[in-house]
Structure 1
Amino acid sequence: MSRIENKYWVAVENLDEMRELVLNYMNHDYYSEIMKNKFYTVRSIYLDNDQFDAYYEKTAGLEKRSKYRIRAYNQMNAGKTVYCEIKSKIKEYISKERFPIAFNEVADFLVYPDMLKIKNHSADYKLRLFAANNFIYSVKKKNMKPVVNVVYEREAFECKYGSGLRITFDMNLRGAETNSVTNLFDEDSLREVKRGYFILEIKYGRMLPSWVMSLVNRFGLRKEAISKYVLCLEESKSNIPKINRI
């Protein structure tokens, strides 16, 4: 399902007040609700090629572009599942396709893809298999490899009334250059990005409720083309030109 994403930088001193206002209209989503502090950790290793095409497509603001990443949540444990994702943008609309795979199999899968590792245990199997083939085809065709590890804490909200509106607070953004997906759960080398701010993401279909824009205006926010991939890559890799620095 395609949707629109609006992103804003927000000073951390506004976090509590903004949360209180959002909870008038929304509930924490399931994954935030089950966490003691109402946030969970999102970990992504982004793939790009030697020419950094995905990076330059973003910084150039191309209307049609895609990013490729390996994503996991929270901490490492036995039998951990991760997700290979393609996040695509066409004009203002975002879509995502992904498939799950065991963490201890993902490195080999990128080199020697075996579709039998995509387990046939749900109604989404055909969609997952389609996503896996698309992911591997693009990675091989573009000769992509792991380039940066991106980590942050997310507090997520969903509409009480089933409108599809989703709001997230992405906090403590940090990243590190990497050349291996096995570094997905590493923390030691991560460098903090934009201390004192968090990212507000507003995701919706076609209509944005009026209260959301009132929230944005209350804090004097300005919509920005924020890319966690670009920010963390520029922070950790010195020989990437600083183009359209956010």
Structure 2
Amino acid sequence: MKKFRHELKYYINEHDYLTLRRKIGVVLKQDNNSINQQGYLIRSLYFDNIHDHDLFHKNNGILRRKKFRIRIYNHSDKVIKLEKKSRQGEYILKTSAEITKDEYFKILDWDYEFLKEKEQPIYKEFYHYLNSEYMRPRVIVDYVREAYIGHISNVRITFDKELSVVTDSIDLFNPNHTTQEVLVHPQMILEVKYDEFLPDYIRKLLQLDAHNRSAISKYVLCRMKSIEYHGS
């Protein structure tokens, strides 16, 4: 059974990044999903209801909240994940299940009755929000993730770079999309996730007390940029 994990987020600059990745790379191995030393591309289509509850809950500091998204990696359709991310303060719980490309396009076409027939609860819950709250696609978020993993307390350290929003499409597989950078280089995001505790040697290597912790939401940053871009 999955359980809530700690999640800490920090804005860092390129100097911090180069220093930290060198230190972390000595003691933790890079995620197997990486296609090179820079990591891998994550593209996520986020959903919200007609009242933008998820957006406003985050901006208003609501401690218990959730987000639904459909996610792909490196522009590939080999793995397409439906995900729900729940948050209680600094604790997160992510549940996910795979969908096919045909199912993905069905969801975009509002043909989502098939979700009721699937066994895992996330499908039925997503169906409920689509059907009862008119949840719909809102924005596509792009970034490059460089991830390092450790077995003690299931530690995961990520550097998220080149955060961008797709400004002209809500289709993850649109080959002619246009993106706009949200965080100006060299700013990027450090995320630290772990289960019961963060090992002391990891905390010392990261020098977390030297960085400014922030309540960062990639969805909110990109959604606000999209609203600014489109004027609504």
TM-score interval w.r.t. the shorter chain? Answer: 0.7 to 0.9
Report the Cα offset of residue 153 of structure 1. 0.5
Which residue in the other structure is 2:135 paired with?
Answer: 144
Identity across the alignment (%): 30
Q: TM-score, normalised by structure 1?
A: 0.83
Which amino acid in the other structure matches residue 65 of structure 2?
R
**2:195 maps to 1:205:** yes
- Tell me, what secondary structure is at the counterpart of 1:175? strand
Q: Could you give the per-residue CA deviations for residues 54-112 of structure 1, whole angstroms, max 9, x where no partner exists? A: 000011111110001111101235xx331111100123210011111112321314533
1:46 aligns with 2:46: yes
Size of the aligned set, in residue pairs, is 225
Q: What are the residue-to-residue correspondences of 1:45-84 with 2, within 5 Å?
A: 45-76=45-76, 80-84=78-82
2:31 equivalent to 1:29:
yes
| Cα distance between partner residues in 2 of 1:174 and 1:93 | 25
CA apart distance, 1:208: 1.5
1:53 and 1:115, CA in 2 relative to 1: closer, same or farther beyond 3 A? closer
CA RMSD, Structure 1 to Structure 2 (Å): 2.3
Paired residue secondary structure (2:26)? coil
Instruction: Return the offset for 1:115.
Output: 4.2
Instruction: Please give the alpha-carbon distance, in whole angstroms, between the structure 2 residues aligned to 1:172 and 1:231.
Output: 13
Residues 146, 186 of structure 1: alpha-carbon distance in 2 compared, 3 angstrom cutoff: farther
| Larger deviation, residues 196-205 vs 185-194 | 185-194
Q: 1:186 to 1:68 in 2, by over 3 A?
A: farther
Question: 2 CA distance for matches of 1:208 and 1:237?
Answer: 37
Farther-moved stretch of structure 1 (211-220 vs 146-155): 211-220
Moved more, 182-191 or 161-170: 182-191
TM-score (norm 2): 0.87
Which of these residues, 160, 180, 183, is aligned with residue 170 of structure 1? 160
Counterpart-to-counterpart distance in 1, 2:82 and 2:10: 26
Higher mean C-alpha displacement, 147-156 vs 208-217: 208-217
CA deviation after TM superposition for structure 1 residue 156, in Å: 0.8
Equivalent position amino acid for 1:189 in 2:
T
Aligned pairs for 1:103-118 within 5 A:
103-109=101-107, 111-115=111-115
CA distance in 2, matches of 1:68, 1:138: 9
Structure 1 letter corresponding to 2:129 = S
Query: What do residues 179-226 of structure 1 show as CA deviations (whole Å, max 9, x unaligned)?
Result: 63x245556421101211111000011211223333443782111000
For 1:36, the aligned partner's letter is: N
Question: Is residue 11–residue 189 contact of structure 2 (8 Å, CA) maintained in 1?
Answer: yes
